[in-house]
Chains A and B, each alone.
Chain A
Amino acid sequence: MTLVIKNGRVIDPANSLDEPKDLLIHKGRIKAIESPGSISFEAGEKPSVIDAKGCVVCPGLIDMHVHFREPGFEYKETITSGCQSAAAGGFTSVAVMPNTNPVNDTRAVTEYILSLARAEGIINVYPIAAITQKLEGERLSEMADLKDAGAIAFSDDGRPVMNNELMRRAFEYSKMFKLPLIQHSEMLDLTEGGCMNEGMVSTELGLKGMPAEAEDIMVYRDIALLEKTGGQLHVAHISSKNSVELVRQAKSRGLSVTCEVAPHHFTLTDEAVRGYDTNTKMSPPLRTIDDVKAIKEGLQDGTIDIIATDHAPHDIADKQVEYQNACFGIVGLETALPLSLKLVDEKILSIGDVIKKLTFTPADIFNLEAGSLSLDNEADLLIFNPNLEYSIDISKFHSKSKNSPFDGWKVKGKVIRTLVKGKTVYSANEN
C-alpha cells in the first residue's frame, strides 16, 4: 500500500527536477517528493522501502511505437509478452500499432486490445488505430468511433498512405478529432523489392536498395498537405538526413509536425548489413553515417522530439531466411535504454534530455496522462542504474522474439525496477 523509494537521483523533466529526492507512494499514486530522509510517517505505519542508491528514479518510459502482434500473430508476440518485454525495458506505457490481424480499424479490435491489456495489468497500453480500413489505403476508418473506443492516434504503419487525395482527406478528417496521424513515410514505388539502404554497400552486397528519397518525398508531401488542411502530423521512425531538415523547416514555419527516431537509427549504419545478418533488416533501413550525424543533430536541437523503438518482433522462421525474404524489423524494448544512454556518453544529449524524449515529450504530444512525477499522478516509475555495465543477452529477453542485432553488445545503463501504479512489474533481481 505504502512504498518509499529513497536515495535515488530523481529526474523528472516535466517538473524540471534533477536532484536527490525520496518518494512516497500510497495506493498507487505519488504522494510526496521530499529531500532525502525527510519523509515522515504516522506512528505504526510500516511502508515497504526500496533503496535506489546509485540509481536514477524517473517516470516510467513511454514507447509510442510498438507492434504487439495480437490479435493474429501471437507466435511472434502477445500483448502479455509484449508488456513483459516493455516492463523489462523500463517502459510503463506503450502505444501499439494497428497492423494486427484483424487490423485495428474498428471499435471491436480497439476494445479487445484494451481489455486484454487491462486484464494482464502489467503496463499501460494505448491503441493506435488505422487511418484506412484494413490498411488498404482506400477508405478512411471510422475515426470518431475509434477515438471513442480509446485510440490515441491513427496510423497505417507497416505501410504508408500512398494515395495523395486520401492522405489530404485523412488530415482533414482527423483534424476534427484532434488526434495526430502517424505516417510510415515511404514511397513504395521507389523501394519496391528493396531490402536495405541504397548506397555503396547495397551495390557491393548485390542487394536492391531503398533510396532515402522514398522517405524524403513523402515527408515533403505530408508537410505540404498538412500546411493546406491543418491537422497534426507525426513522422514515424525518421531515418534520412533530408527528412530531418524538412521537419526542421516545417517546425520553423509553425506547422504542427513532430517526429520520432528509433535507437537503431542513431546506433548503426548500413555497414552493419555486411555479413547479411537479417537482424539488420528493417524499414526504414539503416542508412549512412551522414544520416546518423543528421539524426544526432536533430536530437540535439529538438527537431526530433521523441525516441520510439518500433519494436517489431519476428519469429526465427521469419528471419532465418535469405536476406531478401526476411521480414523487416527488430525488437527494441529491452535495448532502448542503454542505447539511448550512449547519446549521453557521446555528449549529444544530457541524461535529462534522453529521459524527457522518452517520458514528458511523448505524453505531451499524444496527450497521455503519463510521463511525469507530479504529485497525485499514478506511480509509474523506472529505477535504473546508469553506470552498471553489462552484455546484452537476447536469450534473456522477455519478448517472445529475439530478433535483435545487439546480442553480445557491452552496454551501460540497466533497468533495476519498473513500477506501474506503485506495483513492481519488473525487478532485475528476480530475473
Chain B
Amino acid sequence: MFNRKNILGTKCLVEEEITTILDTADSFKEISTRPIKKVPTLRGKTIINLFFEPSTRTRTSFEIAGKRLSADVINISGSSSSTVKDENLIDTALNLEAMHPDIIVVRHGLSGVPEMISQHVKCPIINAGDGYHEHPTQALLDLHTIREAKGTLKGLNITIVGDIAHSRVVRSNIYAMKTMGMNVKLIGPSTMIPLGIEKMGVSVGYDLEGAINDADVIMMLRLQKERQSRYLLSSIREYSNLYCLTSKFLEKAKEDVLIFHPGPVNRGIEISLDVMESERSLILTQVTNGVAVRMALMYLLLGGKNDTSN
C-alpha cells in the first residue's frame, strides 16, 4: 500500500514502498511499447511541471509520463534568479494551487524549495530535483534499471564516481540503495567529497582504478560546472585523466558490469565515447525507465484518491 502525500526524497522511503514503486513501474513500462501509448487512468487530472531550473530531458520525461496516463500536463518555467524579484516563491505556489492542480512537479536550483512549497500547498508535490539535496525520481529509475537487469538489488556493489558534494542524484541514490541492501562506494576528487559522508553508511575513495573490480554497477556523475566554486579542481583535463571511464579502466571490471549516467553526458570527460556506446551502458534504458517510474509515481499518488464520489 502506498500512502505518501508527496515524493520529496528517497530518505524517508522504506523498502516496501520502493518495491511497490518498482513493481508498478514494471507494468507501466509495457504501455510505452503499445501502438496507442495511452491509458485513461488519470484522465481529467491536472499536472503542473513547475521548473525553475532549465531541463529538457527531465521535464519531457514528466510530461510524457503524465500524458500517457491521459492527464493534462502544463509546463511552467519559473525564474529562479533571486535578482529577478518577480513573484515571491510562495506566492507562485499559492497562485498555482488556486487553479486546483492534482500534482505539482517542482525542480529548482536551490535545495529545500519543494519541501518549502509542500508546507504551503495542499496538493501532492513531486521533487524533480532541488539544488544538490535530492532527486528521488532519478534514484528510483536507477534502481528500476538495475533490478530489471540483475533481477535483484540486495547485496549488489555500486561505485558512484564524480562530483559527490554537489550531486542530488548521489544523495537520493545513497538513501534508496542502502534501504534496498546495496553496498555503495563513492569515488571522486577529495575536494568534491563532503567530510564525514561515511556516516551515511558508504565507503569513500579517491582512486577510480581500485573501485572497479568489485562493482556490479558503475554510475558516473555529471561534472556540475554551474554549482562549483573555482577552487575545487585544477583543470578539466586532470579530472578526466583521473576519473573518465574508459575501456582501459573497464578491463578490470566484471564481465556483466552495468554503466550508468544520469545525463546529459560530458563526453570524454566523464565517459569515453566507446564506453557510452557499448552494450554494458544502460544510459538510454535509464531514460526509458524514467518515463515508467514517473508514471508509476503519478499513479500511486493519485490513484484511489478522488473527492468526487459517485
Contact = CB atoms under 8 A, between A and B. Distances in A.
B208 to A, nearest CB: 22
Main secondary structure on chain A at its contact with chain B? loop
Contacts of B112: 205-207, 276, 322-323
A324 B80 CA distance: 12
Nearest to A322: B110
B115 A204 contact: no
Contact of B229 (A192, A199, A324): A192
B111 A205 contact: yes
Given A203-B196, A206-B130, A322 B113 contact: yes
Nearest to B108: A322
A323 B113 CA distance: 8
A317 B111 contact: no
Interface in B33-85: 82
B110 A323 contact: yes
Given A199-B196, A200-B196, A206-B130, A321 B89 contact: yes
A276 B115 contact: yes
A240 to B, nearest CB: 16
A323 B196 CA distance: 23
B30 to A, nearest CB: 35
Nearest to B134: A206
Contacts of A320: 88-90
B131 interface: yes
Interface in B111-167: 111-113, 115-116, 119, 130-134, 165
Given A325-B82, A325-B110, A206 B88 contact: no
A204 B115 CA distance: 14
B197 interface: yes
Nearest to B231: A189
Instruction: Please classify how large the interface on chain A is, using the bins under 10, 10 to 19, 20 to 34, 35 or more.
Output: 10 to 19
A206 B131 contact: yes
A275 interface: yes
Contacts of B168: 206
B224 to A, nearest CB: 12
A323 B131 CA distance: 11
Contacts of A204: 11, 171, 200
30 contacts: A193-B229, A200-B196, A200-B199, A203-B194, A203-B196, A204-B200, A205-B111, A205-B112, A205-B133, A206-B112, A206-B131, A206-B133, A206-B171, A207-B111, A207-B112, A207-B131, A275-B115, A276-B111, A276-B112, A276-B115, A317-B88, A320-B89, A321-B82, A322-B82, A322-B89, A322-B108, A322-B110, A322-B112, A322-B113, A325-B82
Interface of B: 11, 82, 88-90, 108, 110-113, 115-116, 119, 130-134, 165, 168, 171, 194, 196-197, 199-200, 229
Interface of A: 192-193, 199-200, 203-207, 275-276, 317, 320-325
Given A276-B111, A322-B89, 14 more contacts: A192-B229, A199-B196, A203-B165, A205-B133, A206-B111, A206-B132, A206-B134, A276-B116, A320-B90, A322-B110, A322-B112, A324-B110, A324-B111, A325-B110
